[in-house]
Amino acid sequence: SQTIHQWPATLVQPVGSPLSLECTVEGTSNPNLYWYRQAAGRGLQLLFYSIGIDQISSEVPQNLSASRPQDRQFILSSKKLLLSDSGFYLCACDSFNEKLFFGSGTQLSVL
């Protein structure tokens, strides 16, 4: 079964600073990869998904971008963080049986 590595666990950043969150996956090849965000008291919102290297789909317009430079690496970025970017960011991966599994998440606080 696959293992999803996501770091850091917590991050505090000032408004206007850049962001880079990295996710790597082990134990599978050519996975579909996802970035979700969970704001306080709200549900999980799909931000980006990728079916392959350099193939990124954005679900909602926002201040964030994603890249997939390698098969098992997915990166979430921002050039200038906003207060509204605060939340719990989750990388996820699905296997051939289409079940979605999550990494441990990054709690981002923008101050």
For position 53 contacting other proteins by CB under 8 A, the verdict is: no
Q: Is 87 in the site for other proteins (CB under 8 A)?
A: no
Closest residue by Cα to residue 105 from 86, 87, 91, 93: 91
For other proteins, the closer CB: 50 or 78: 50
Beta carbon nearer to other proteins, 17 or 109: 109
Q: Is 74 in the site for other proteins (CB under 8 A)?
A: no
103 binds other proteins (CB under 8 A): yes
Q: Long-range contact list for 63-72, CB < 8 A, 24+ apart?
A: 64/19, 66/35, 68/33, 71/29, 71/30, 71/31, 72/24, 72/25, 72/26, 72/28, 72/29, 72/31
Query: Is residue 35 at the binding interface for other proteins, with CB under 8 A as the rule?
Result: no
Question: What residues line the site for other proteins (CB under 8 A)?
Answer: 32, 34, 42-44, 46, 49, 51, 57, 59, 90, 94, 98-105, 107
